[in-house]
Amino acid sequence: MARKRAPGFEAQREDILAAAARLFAEQGFSATSMNQVAEACGVAKPTLYHYFQDKQELLAQICDSHVHALLALVEEVKARQLPPEAQLRALIERFTRAYADAQDQHRVLTSEIRFLADAERERLLDVERRVVAGFAAALCRVRPELREVGLHKPLTMLLFGMINWTHTWLRPGGDLSHEALAALVSDLFFGGLGAVQLRQPDLIQ
Percent of the chain having pLDDT more than 70? 93
CA 122 vs CA 53, 61, 64, 127, 199: distances in Å? 20, 14, 11, 9, 34
Compute the mean pLDDT over every residue in the chain, rounded to the nearest whole number: 89
* pLDDT of amino acid 1: 40
Q: Is the pLDDT of residue 6 over 70?
A: no
Query: pLDDT tens-digit profile of 8-59?
Result: 778 899 999 999 999 999 999 999 999 999 999 889 999 999 999 999 999 9
Q: Which residues of 72-86 are buried (b: 16+ CB within 10 A; e: fewer)?
A: ebbeebeeeebeeee
Query: pLDDT tens-digit profile of 104-137?
Result: 999 999 999 999 999 999 999 999 999 999 999 9
CATH of 55-193, one of 3.50.50.60, 1.10.357.10, 3.30.559.10, 3.40.640.10: 1.10.357.10
* pLDDT of amino acid 5: 54
Q: Domain residues of the chain, as ranges?
A: 55-193
Mean pLDDT of the 167-189 span: 83
Total Cβ atoms within 10 A of residue 114: 8
Q: Is the pLDDT of residue 86 over 80?
A: yes
Q: For 28-165, where are the alpha helices, taking DSSP H only? A: 34-40, 45-51, 55-79, 84-101, 103-111, 118-142, 145-148, 152-163
Q: Is the pLDDT of residue 88 over 50?
A: yes
